[in-house]
Amino acid sequence: MKIVSYSIRDDEMPALKEWQAQHPDVEVQIEHELLTPESAAKAQGADGVVVYQQLPYDRATLQALHDAGINKMSLRNVGTDNIDMAAAKELGFQITNVSVYSPNAIAEHAAWLMGRLLRREPEYTAKINRHDLRWAPEIGREMRMQTVGVIGTGHIGRVLIDILKGFGAKIVCYDVFKNPELEKEGVYVDNLADLYQQADIVTVHVPSLKENIHMINDDSIAQMKDGVIIINVARGDLVDTDALIRGLDSGKVRAAGLDVYEKEVGVFNEDWEGKAFPDQRLENLLNRKNVIITPHTAFYTETAVKNMVQISHNCNVQLIKGEKADNLVKLD
């Protein structure tokens, strides 16, 4: 059995070596470059591929894999929105993802963003860097005094709620699919308008489905409390960037913490020092002292990376063996 693993990073190698030692019957061909129509040829003669989402898996890429004899692909990530599903189905692909790798990693990151913004850490950092060690006027706020609106109460949202409870924050939630335990606690509101009206902090933890794209927009921001903080560690296209900038300009939005950005592909995970920055809207946000941008690093912990590598390779073996694979992605 042979698997070709694309875009393997140095930080993934310890987990992959551990997995290889546990599966001596599987040959793993390591490729450091991304899966593209050109690099797909390197999978010739293999049984399956393991990949990581950074470029679109469009028809050309899937066709190239198919031409190399591959129709079993396992993602080391959750998101599947960059896959041409119609082409994948037509070409007979079986695809898996890693639906849960570490909810704690992402939930903790959301909590850190909230805490840093509440205590106005970016503003203090700017002052300290110029040796201004006075505390006023950047007075902070306490988490226990905040009402946090959590949109989406799946794995990540549920962990975040537990973290915030530890700080003493009041929680209000909205989800189409309610968690029975949370429902007993009475934290759900009937609609998003109710959540927006109550929350000092709004944090989104829902997938990038058609109905969720730009759910944070001019209309939703207008319904929020004055001085709201917006957090997005889920998917970039959940937030209309132009609407967020307008909200920050008007002061309606006090601050924002973003680990994702709707046009991040090709910009995040690149070194732009000394180069012309390619995105004016993102640069606008980066230059604000009340905005924290992290380049899609909420997932990036040792625990999460290990799970992503090992679960994806386990799934690929299941596909190759013709077994019922964990985390099988529906192509409809």
Q: What is the DSSP letter of 34?
A: P
Residue carrying structure tokens 């180069």: 275
Which tokens go with 31? 């490729």
Nearest one of 303, 4, 285 to 159, comparing CA atoms: 303
Rg of the chain's alpha carbons, rounded to an integer? Answer: 22
Contact 202, 230 (CB under 8 A): yes
d(CA 15, CA 306): 5
| Residue 257 phi, psi dihedral angles, 5° rounding | -125, 115
d(CA 298, CA 302): 12
Cα–Cα distances (Å) from 236 to 130, 165, 220, 223, 259, in that order, read 33, 26, 16, 21, 8
Cβ-count burial of 134 within 10 angstroms (0-12 exposed, 13-18 middle, 19+ buried)? exposed
Residue 199 amino acid letter: A
| Residue 106 phi, psi dihedral angles, 5° rounding | -75, -40
65: which residues sit within 8 A by CB, 6+ positions away? Answer: 35, 40, 43, 49, 71, 73, 93
Instruction: Report, as residue numbers or ranges, the catalytic residues.
Output: 235, 264, 296
How is the beta sheet containing 94-96 ordered, strand by strand?
A: 27-30, 2-5, 48-51, 72-75, 94-96
Strand partners, 174: 151
Strand partners, 172: 149
